[in-house]
Structure 1
């Protein structure tokens, strides 16, 4: 115990301990101070430019300026696709600390439905370029804008941006022809030019909007802005203005397009009208239509599902993708092929007992008039739509020559210059059947093709195009939708236009035209009531296309069939006969005979185009004068 007391009370020992501890503390402080000063020197001297640049980027940023999309007008300058001002909700993810928390705030603040909340979460998560705003909601209303403005301080990285949004004044009538724009998706983003589409959230999806996307879109610009610590813009430091897209003037006539849509009376079908000499598509309607404006801002799931599940298929463009047997509308084209191949002459006649039989075959291929038409020549065969004449002609030509001649008229191929999504239809051949079914071609199938039945499938646009080529006496002018791009007219002579159709004797055109005129004006014409009161000469041809096949001895009775199993009604026409200005193809699904249910629609279209407004007959009056469907098949 004594030793311990002496040690604790040793002043020299305590002094040594104090000095060593003080030295160690000073050494630690000096070392730490040196490290701190060294780091400060490194950051302020060595890394000076790096952090100056970062600071500048926090204060100054470059923002894209989306271009104004080009407007679309009809041939008379009527606006078909406009840009209206709107406010959009944008999110810059790089400026948001917690994206999920911000999205929850937005859901509560804007009182979004569950579907809308899911939609903005998906859009917020889509791949974007760094600092590229993601479009969460379009077309905000005043109440939503006010709520966002009041809570702006709580939502860093969230902006309300004023932009122009596509708007279609006649959405339902023009939906299929114009198409629509929609939000750029992840797949499209991969292939788009990053500079040109900077700041752009919409792109053409279908129709004219898609085909002419490159011209309508324009070129994005840039602006350099100064921001505060929260990323809010304080002032603009400089800009490169965007280049607006080019305006587009179409060949469509809005009034004629509207008339065609109204003529279909909410029936399923299509009407296409073409100016033969220029190839300008004057009207191209598919009914029923849909409101294309719903797709611009993003259609909700329930509405889209309703459109998809609608039995009338409003989203399906019948004018360019609908496949229909052409029925008897193709008889003038077959007559032309028979003349060109030397199998018939205009004066040559056949006797029609009401049916045709192949050699060594007991089956009877019946005429639509069961007791027959008696003696029939070329003109009368067209006027009365005699099947037996064309069974015989098809048998003589054979499927190989039929395929070649009909392909030259545009059947089985895409015919238009700038119609996005056009289907080639189907012009059957031996090779096609062998490849499709691994079966040979049978003679009876050639007879079916001879009256526009069997495997042969056409689109309304193809049928109108072939009628225009016929009206032009074989001169091909490729159909088109664009009349002017900006101030530059689209040329009539377009690339990849098929070669003209030539015949040895120009009188043959007159004989075919005469037969078609007798369809609407002759005393035996299948659509003779259509020609009553005509103030010009018109050529036409009716057609009735079977939806399902009848047995040899079965009779067609529309009243006993479900509506969707009834025949399609078809009619093609052009006028005036001596100098055609319009060619029309009409298809009305499940309506019955073409003479009774499609001819008056074609007449109304030609009247509207050729006559003064006060001279155009009332459509309802025309409809009342039409013949009723007699239940015959594939002939009238």
Structure 2
């Protein structure tokens, strides 16, 4: 009985079990307290700075302040690019609970067309810095702003911001020269300084806007604001002003640019005018142009498709990128090459029967005048644009010396200082043909280059540049579009300016000029109709560039050809000869002969600049010079 009672109850055993359990519980409590204490120490001491910063960020937000973009003026102070106040729609993804739902709600509220919805959504996905707003729409209308205001409570993270937006008063007139700004895309975002472009939604895409982006953009500022739990700004704590972009004054003369566009009168073509002594690009027009303001806020799909599919290529800058056969406008430069290399003298003559034949070759390379010009020297060859003379000269020079001499004038190179996207066109050589076609250079191809045909291609900007160098008697002044940046003048002597062209006899320049003057004023000059009643001395050369090659016995007939297969009309000129103030190149696509369709345009450009615009100088300045006896005679009668 006792034994059974002892088995049922053992106080000592129970006490030992209780003590063990109590000790184990105490150890667990101590361990948990130690773990909690360690965690508190880690959070409060080790990670103090991290969580303090996070806490501050919940209360204080740093917002970027985008700089004001610099303005662009022409040489006369006329505004070409300004900033207008506008309202933009932005979105901060970190403050949006359901991005897709918010975007769908915005599409519905703004009644966006289906063609723009995908682009709208794509902008919201563009990678940004944390809490940096993404630009969804620009230049909101008053109705759109009102709709967004009414639905503001349903659009967390969406804001309507007031900003300055680029605007071009003369958008189509200056579209190719100025270029335009547009929204920053994902590729540009990766290469840009994220700090300096924080809060900036636009960047220069083409033209002057892109080349001088760093100067026009400026430097971003910032401000610290206190916010509430919903992220709304309560008050400003600190502020650093942004540094505005520098204003840019261009060398372009707006009235001269307008005159060039009016002369082209809607025909496809380009006109470039340069001041030879300073390298200032006075006009650089490409027709047709386009409304660059459409690209600032984002052109709609239908409008962009129309521009791309337009056969006249309004988006293509013919002035700096268009590659054309030079035609006979290359002949003055070939003549200078012949003089420099000692292959010809100004008075040396050849007989022109109406064609030229290579030794041991039956093919006849014909002059434009079938029965020929008879006996011609260099001056008359330029005046009448005799092909036979320049076939012979090109053969004697050879392609190597032709290539070297034309390169000295800037052909086949990007020589302008700040013309974004300028093309190199093509100055052929033996090496180029071997690499391009795996074939040797043939003598007949040299003859074609000698009259500006064959593989040789030039741009209107190159032709105007070469004409300016010719007018300067070989002295190189690099062409440029910027006259001053932030009030600081751009120097005339720019880096990487090509070397001046040296000749053995200075009088050779005058010999070439004389032949070019006779083009306009000689009895046989190809452009003598355009040289009537000149009030100054003008030198020029016409060119007619074939779009396709004719066979040996084929005859060109414009009336039988499709309009876009007809010859291009070209003309290059400078004036006054004794003190060059303007060098001009003109090309009118598929217009026909250069003497009849381009020479008059070049004459009108020089008249406008020298007589109406007074070479860019105020009349009172000219009168002051005359009073000091410093003016040079400009009338043709006084010089000849």
Deviation at 1:294, TM superposition (A): 0.7
> Quick check: 2:89–2:161 contact (8 Å CA) kept in 1?
yes
Match of 2:215 in 1: 215
> Quick check: 2:116–2:301 contact (8 Å CA) kept in 1?
no
Structure 2 residue runs of 5 or longer lacking an equivalent are 1-24, 616-640
Match of 1:322 in 2: 322
CA 1:321–1:49 in 2, change beyond 3 Å: closer, same or farther?
Answer: closer
Deviation at 1:194, TM superposition (A): 1.2
Match of 1:179 in 2: 179
> Quick check: 2:483–2:490 contact (8 Å CA) kept in 1?
yes
Give me the whole-angstrom Cα distance separating, in 1, the residues matched to 2:465 and 2:216: 27
Match of 1:630 in 2: none
> Quick check: 2:469–2:476 contact (8 Å CA) kept in 1?
yes
Give me the whole-angstrom Cα distance separating, in 2, the residues matched to 1:546 and 1:354: 19
Say whether 1:514 aligns with 2:514. yes
> Quick check: 1:156–1:231 contact (8 Å CA) kept in 2?
no
CA 1:295–1:349 in 2, change beyond 3 Å: closer, same or farther?
Answer: same
Deviation at 1:202, TM superposition (A): 0.7
Give me the whole-angstrom Cα distance separating, in 1, the residues matched to 2:551 and 2:51: 87
Match of 2:595 in 1: 595
Give me the whole-angstrom Cα distance separating, in 2, the residues matched to 1:457 and 1:481: 23
CA 1:48–1:451 in 2, change beyond 3 Å: closer, same or farther?
Answer: closer
Give me the whole-angstrom Cα distance separating, in 2, the residues matched to 1:326 and 1:210: 29
Match of 1:106 in 2: 106
Once the two structures are overlaid, the 10-residue window that deviates more, 138-147 or 605-614, is 605-614
Report SS of the residue matched to 1:199: coil
Matched ranges for 1:390-409 at <5 A: 390-409=390-409
Give me the whole-angstrom Cα distance separating, in 2, the residues matched to 1:179 and 1:162: 24
Matched ranges for 1:282-301 at <5 A: 282-301=282-301
> Quick check: 2:177–2:207 contact (8 Å CA) kept in 1?
yes
Match of 1:368 in 2: 368
> Quick check: 2:403–2:427 contact (8 Å CA) kept in 1?
yes
Matched ranges for 1:110-149 at <5 A: 110-149=110-149
CA 1:222–1:532 in 2, change beyond 3 Å: closer, same or farther?
Answer: same
> Quick check: 1:558–1:566 contact (8 Å CA) kept in 2?
yes
Give me the whole-angstrom Cα distance separating, in 2, the residues matched to 1:370 and 1:289: 40
Deviations 1:322-380 (A, max 9, x none): 11010000111111111111111111111111001111111110000111111111111
Deviation at 1:415, TM superposition (A): 1.0
Match of 1:546 in 2: 546
Report SS of the residue matched to 2:530: coil
Give me the whole-angstrom Cα distance separating, in 1, the residues matched to 2:322 and 2:340: 30
Matched ranges for 1:311-460 at <5 A: 311-460=311-460
Report SS of the residue matched to 2:456: coil
Give me the whole-angstrom Cα distance separating, in 2, the residues matched to 1:231 and 1:592: 67
Deviation at 1:613, TM superposition (A): 6.4
Report SS of the residue matched to 1:405: helix
Deviations 1:452-475 (A, max 9, x none): 000000000000011000100110
Give me the whole-angstrom Cα distance separating, in 2, the residues matched to 1:209 and 1:359: 54
Give me the whole-angstrom Cα distance separating, in 2, the residues matched to 1:489 and 1:512: 34
Deviations 1:23-63 (A, max 9, x none): xxxx9xxx9xx99x979x95996788765543432222000
Structure 1 residue runs of 5 or longer lacking an equivalent are 1-26, 616-636
CA 1:345–1:53 in 2, change beyond 3 Å: closer, same or farther?
Answer: closer
Deviations 1:473-521 (A, max 9, x none): 1101110111001111000001111111111111111111111111011
Deviations 1:208-254 (A, max 9, x none): 11111111100000011112222121221111000001111111001
Report SS of the residue matched to 1:570: strand
Give me the whole-angstrom Cα distance separating, in 2, the residues matched to 1:469 and 1:479: 10
Give me the whole-angstrom Cα distance separating, in 2, the residues matched to 1:444 and 1:340: 23
> Quick check: 1:394–1:402 contact (8 Å CA) kept in 2?
yes
Once the two structures are overlaid, the 10-residue window that deviates more, 147-156 or 540-549, is 147-156
Match of 1:523 in 2: 523
> Quick check: 1:403–1:429 contact (8 Å CA) kept in 2?
yes
Give me the whole-angstrom Cα distance separating, in 2, the residues matched to 1:344 and 1:560: 40
> Quick check: 2:256–2:282 contact (8 Å CA) kept in 1?
yes
Give me the whole-angstrom Cα distance separating, in 1, the residues matched to 2:129 and 2:48: 28
CA 1:237–1:506 in 2, change beyond 3 Å: closer, same or farther?
Answer: same
Report SS of the residue matched to 2:518: helix
Give me the whole-angstrom Cα distance separating, in 1, the residues matched to 2:141 and 2:276: 48
Deviations 1:188-219 (A, max 9, x none): 11111111111111111111111111111000
> Quick check: 1:74–1:254 contact (8 Å CA) kept in 2?
yes
Give me the whole-angstrom Cα distance separating, in 1, the residues matched to 2:49 and 2:411: 69
Report SS of the residue matched to 2:388: helix
Structure 1 runs of 4+ with >2 Å offset: 41-56, 612-615
Deviation at 1:145, TM superposition (A): 1.0
Give me the whole-angstrom Cα distance separating, in 1, the residues matched to 2:263 and 2:549: 29
Deviation at 1:393, TM superposition (A): 0.3
Match of 1:255 in 2: 255
Report SS of the residue matched to 1:244: coil
Match of 2:9 in 1: none
Deviation at 1:561, TM superposition (A): 0.1
RMSD between superposed Cα atoms in Å: 2.2
Q: Give TM-score, length-normalised by structure 2.
A: 0.89
Deviation at 1:117, TM superposition (A): 2.3
Give me the whole-angstrom Cα distance separating, in 1, the residues matched to 2:525 and 2:141: 60
Give me the whole-angstrom Cα distance separating, in 1, the residues matched to 2:446 and 2:506: 28
Deviation at 1:302, TM superposition (A): 1.3
Say whether 1:91 aligns with 2:95. no
Q: How many residues align?
A: 586
Match of 2:573 in 1: 573
CA 1:563–1:471 in 2, change beyond 3 Å: closer, same or farther?
Answer: same
Report SS of the residue matched to 2:535: coil
Give me the whole-angstrom Cα distance separating, in 2, the residues matched to 1:559 and 1:161: 59
> Quick check: 1:379–1:514 contact (8 Å CA) kept in 2?
yes
Report SS of the residue matched to 2:425: coil
Report SS of the residue matched to 1:243: coil
> Quick check: 1:269–1:588 contact (8 Å CA) kept in 2?
yes
CA 1:38–1:395 in 2, change beyond 3 Å: closer, same or farther?
Answer: closer
Give me the whole-angstrom Cα distance separating, in 2, the residues matched to 1:159 and 1:247: 30
